[in-house]
Structure 1
């Protein structure tokens, strides 16, 4: 794994896919978040160290650019905090070695796309 990408993906998952939002509501329910904040929705209120642009870039990479198997491993590994590692591996339909190979490949893919965007 690439340490910097691992950190960015952890913060991305916390920032955009955490089960508890800034006001204690689930982030999956946008209407509840808007009601709790009286219509004022501000991303990154949990003191995230990931820049909002970078978080949005990672979201786009994971959703649109990663191959399906890699995206699935990234989502399971970083966004699914309620499951055990063995459950995550089973959900991805592979063995432990393949799971970590895919995770590493996803790290390389994300690093390449982020570096390409920064160079442009």
Structure 2
């Protein structure tokens, strides 16, 4: 009996699903606010995506830090080393907001 090639490959190649975030930013009178939707393999969660560090309401994540000036951020999940994200694209959304996509990247900072 022969196994299909895809089944064999799936059994030996680990599937890596990186986290990512979609952020909507709105500005009024020079003040901007950002809200994000953090996506893991389990689900999507709303997060405060403004500048600085916080304890987000994402299961097992205990810190999310956004560095808008350098278009990057980092985060920590329980029992894991620092992981990093970087802004990879930006565009216009409805009502004068901008949307940006942030993907997990190797930490170099």
> Under a length normalisation based on structure 2, what TM-score does the superposition of the two structures give?
0.24
Flag the structure with more relative contact order, 1 or 2, with Cα contacts below 8 A and sequence separation at least 6.
1
TM (norm. structure 1) is 0.23
User: Which is richer in strand?
Assistant: 2
* Higher Cα radius of gyration: 2
